Amino acid sequence: MKKVSGRFAADAETERTITKGIDWNGVYRDRYSYARSTVYAEAMLAWRLNPLARTIVELYQTYTVDGIDFECEHEATNTFLRKFWEHDLNMIEEMLPEWSDEYVLTGNAFPILTTDRSGMSFVRIHPTDLMQEIRTSKNDVRQETSFLPSAIEGPDPTAYFNYYYKPNEKVVMLHSAVNRLAGMKWGEADLAPLLPWLARYASWLEDRVLLNHYRNLYLIDVTLTGKNPKEVAERRKEILLKDPQSGEINVHGEDEVWEMKSPQLNSGDADKDGLSLKKFIALGRGIPLHYLAEPESTTRTTADASGTPTFKRFERRQKFFLNRVKELLRVVVRRRYTIGGDSKIDPEAGITVSAGDVSERDNASLAMAVSQIAVSMKPLVEAGYMTPEEYLRWIYRFGGEDPKKFIQQKEAPAVSAAPQPANPLEGEVDLDVETGAVTVKESKN
């Protein structure tokens, strides 16, 4: 059987090779300790009750897990991974959204793997708020050895070993984190810096609703002239018994003055306060306002400009998430090989995990780039300055694909000199930044 390599081995590093004797656990306390349990509780409460918080969490989920799939170059290994992925007790595709939400709400994810005798693994995402401690090697905070759950009821819980520390345990755990600084064990929630402002926005909106409610209330003020208290009381009883309704005609003498009184709250300019709060919330995660149901004065140009950094942020999170899925699949394969003893699979087989494009506009831009590069470089091939293989490599490169996947080792087909394809550069190329549609207008020449 092949030797399965791990990320690190127990006691493989010494104080001479890592941090020269520094006890990281004693120096750093997550730079610096903060009330994680309080942040987790408030983040989950915001997710449950605040529509704006729920929208932000779902935005991350949408751009992270959409269209995730995998492929393994080794046939037997790929077959096993499909069984694992679609197993009734796994249903990984349904687990991915909650995995993504765990990062946004807590900044951490703790997949726990239980493997039976046949080597089939079953995965659950352990709630981060039920984890008490991350134990690491004394001289390297990134070498996590075990994870201690919180004691809820009964005896003290047993720690789960990190797979990379003891890979052959029946139950092992993995850990990954986002928003983590150097020297930190725990990640921090994407929603954490927004929590105070989400609360302030909710309070502002509630106050706004109450103000508008009371501003629409009114009362009838009746002034009686030349009446003694007894006459005033009797007239008051008459008016209350009648209970004037909207649209009724009221007739009174010169000794009565009727007026409609309403609160003068002057809350009409409060929209600016709400917009400022919403802008600050959007800024906290780099999300354009029009993603949060606030079109303001956004045009297509500003929407396109503000979308670029947002897409970059989501692409970075998607890449991180795909790497975590790939890591999980590799661990599952290795445990099948070592614990289940399945020699038909390859524990080191290459696994590719892919997902849908973050932005549809990328497809339109790539299509336009391919069409332009194909036409502009074709004369170089015909003149002998470029080989057909190099020509194809450029095309695949500008198409956003890895040339190695498509260009075989065999001789590439010759490029025909005729007929000449239509050249998009001869006309006007128009890219709709909102829909991603590419149109080419015919040349007037």
Binning pLDDT at 50, 70 and 90, where does residue 368 land?
confident
Helices within 339-429 (DSSP H only)? 360-382, 388-398, 403-406
- Residue 323 confidence (pLDDT): 95
- Residue 9 confidence (pLDDT): 47
- Residue 88 confidence (pLDDT): 95
- With a CB cutoff of 8 Å and minimum separation 6, the contacts of 179 are 107, 187, 188, 189, 190, 192
Q: Which of 92-106, 123-137, 273-287, 369-383 has the lowest mean pLDDT?
A: 273-287
| Range 182-187, long-range pairs (CB < 8 A, 24+ positions) | 183/24, 183/27, 183/28, 183/31, 183/141, 184/28, 184/30, 184/31, 184/141, 185/30, 185/134, 185/136, 185/141, 185/144, 186/30, 186/36, 186/107, 186/108, 186/134, 187/103, 187/106, 187/107, 187/108
Residue matched to tokens 């991603």: 436
User: How far apart (Å, rounded) are the C-alpha atoms in residues 441 and 239?
Assistant: 76
> Is the pLDDT confidence value at 377 over 80?
yes
Q: Which residues of 274-303 are buried (b: 16+ CB within 10 A; e: fewer)?
A: eeebbeebbebbebbbebbeeeeeeeeeeb
More reliable by pLDDT, 334 or 27? 334
334 and 168 in contact (C-beta within 8 Å)?
Answer: no
More reliable by pLDDT, 173 or 29? 173
| Strand blocks (E) in 57-180 | 69-72, 108-115, 121-126, 131-137, 140-149, 160-162, 171-173, 176-177
User: How far apart (Å, rounded) are the C-alpha atoms in residues 80 and 341?
Assistant: 13
DSSP-derived letter for residue 21 is T
More reliable by pLDDT, 279 or 175? 175
Nearest to residue 106, comparing CAs of 192, 33, 219, 229?
Answer: 192
- With a CB cutoff of 8 Å and minimum separation 6, the contacts of 280 are 197
Question: How many C-beta atoms lie closer than 10 Å to residue 83's C-beta?
Answer: 11
- With a CB cutoff of 8 Å and minimum separation 6, the contacts of 372 are 424, 425
User: Which CA distances in Å does 301 have to 294, 307, 308, 367?
Assistant: 16, 10, 11, 21
Q: What is the pTM of this model?
A: 0.68
179 and 103 in contact (C-beta within 8 Å)?
Answer: no
> Is the pLDDT confidence value at 89 over 80?
yes
**1-16 residue pLDDT tens:** 555 555 554 445 555 5
The residues spanned by each domain of the chain are 24-192+317-354, 218-261, 360-441
User: How far apart (Å, rounded) are the C-alpha atoms in residues 397 and 246?
Assistant: 73
The residue count of the chain comes to 445
Q: Which residues of 320-343 are buried (b: 16+ CB within 10 A; e: fewer)?
A: ebbebbebbbbbbbbbbbbbbebe
User: How far apart (Å, rounded) are the C-alpha atoms in residues 21 and 137?
Assistant: 11
Q: Which of 66-70, 113-117, 222-226, 331-335 has the lowest mean pLDDT?
A: 222-226
Report the DSSP beta bridge partners of residue 430: 439
- Residue 10 confidence (pLDDT): 46
412 and 386 in contact (C-beta within 8 Å)?
Answer: no
**323-367 residue pLDDT tens:** 999 999 999 999 999 999 999 999 999 999 998 876 655 566 667
How is residue 204 written in tokens? 């502002």
